[in-house]
Amino acid sequence: MITVKIDVTKIDKALLYKGAKGTYLDVVLFETPEDKYGNDYRVVQGVTKEARAAGTKGAILGNGKVIGGNSKPAFNKAEPKPVTSEDVPF
């Protein structure tokens, strides 16, 4: 489980959007080296695809940490492909 704490005063309210069941905020978690408070992630407000393409970065809203486990979850970490005899060129 990952817990997140954000400073709501830093939210850019112009980036909030209405959905079918409420008003939403996109956030992104960036994996970081663990800090002195045990935080493993930086929490940043998501921006539109066009804003990202123009170089705009979302505001840093807070931090997150892994709770109840000994290590960070393995996000986007591909399993190594086993080498077979077909992979060897000779």
pLDDT-derived band at 71 (thresholds 50, 70, 90) equals: low
Segment 19-29 mean pLDDT: 95
Which residue type sits at 52? R
Backbone angles phi, psi at 41, to 5 degrees: -135, 150
| H/E segment holding residue 44 | strand 41-45
Segment 44-72 mean pLDDT: 88
